[in-house]
């Protein structure tokens, strides 16, 4: 059971590390979007000479928005994985409890069978003496 708990904890820690990477992606996407906006402004200031650069600036902003959307989806996936791990761990803990109960019941049955065997042997011995 300890191994399961440790594995769940390790997976959870890795998910948190992934969350940090997603935050970094969000930050880069936000900065890139701002950079694209500033580039569009500069392209507009340059007039006719900046038109080509303006197209590139708009593409940069579009890519930044797309990256931010993707990181949001990744964040949802990480959250869902963490929930699944949590519920799976809970189920394994319940299962472990049930197996311990079954094991205890089997031990009780074994003791009862041993007692019945001894009683039967005693009765057999008494019957021989009659």
Token pair recorded at residue 50: 């900046």
The mean pLDDT value for 42-51 works out to: 88
Could you tell me the residue ranges of all domains in the chain? 2-129
Name the CATH code of domain 2-129 (choices 3.40.309.10, 2.40.110.10, 3.40.50.1860, 1.10.287.950). 1.10.287.950
The mean pLDDT value for 82-88 works out to: 85
Above 70 in pLDDT, residue 1? no
Does the predicted TM-score (pTM) go above 0.85? Answer: no
Above 90 in pLDDT, residue 109? yes
Find all residues with CB under 8 Å of 30, minimum gap 6, and list them. 64, 68
Question: For a pLDDT cut of 70, what percent of the chain falls above it?
Answer: 98
pLDDT at 117: 92
The mean pLDDT value for 32-42 works out to: 91
């Amino acid at each position: 059971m300890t191994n399961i708990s440790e594995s769940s904890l390790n997976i959870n820690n890795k998910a948190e590390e992934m969350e940090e990477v997603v935050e970094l992606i969000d930050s880069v996407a936000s900065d890139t979007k701002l950079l694209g906006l500033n580039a569009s402004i500069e392209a507009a200031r340059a007039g006719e000479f900046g038109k080509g650069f303006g197209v590139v600036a708009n593409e940069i902003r579009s890519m930044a928005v797309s990256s931010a959307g993707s990181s949001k989806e990744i964040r949802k996936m990480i959250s869902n994985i963490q929930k699944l791990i949590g519920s799976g761990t809970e189920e394994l803990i319940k299962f472990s409890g049930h197996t311990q109960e079954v094991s205890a019941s089997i031990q009780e049955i074994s003791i009862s069978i041993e007692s019945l065997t001894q009683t039967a042997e005693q009765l057999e011995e008494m019957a021989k003496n009659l």
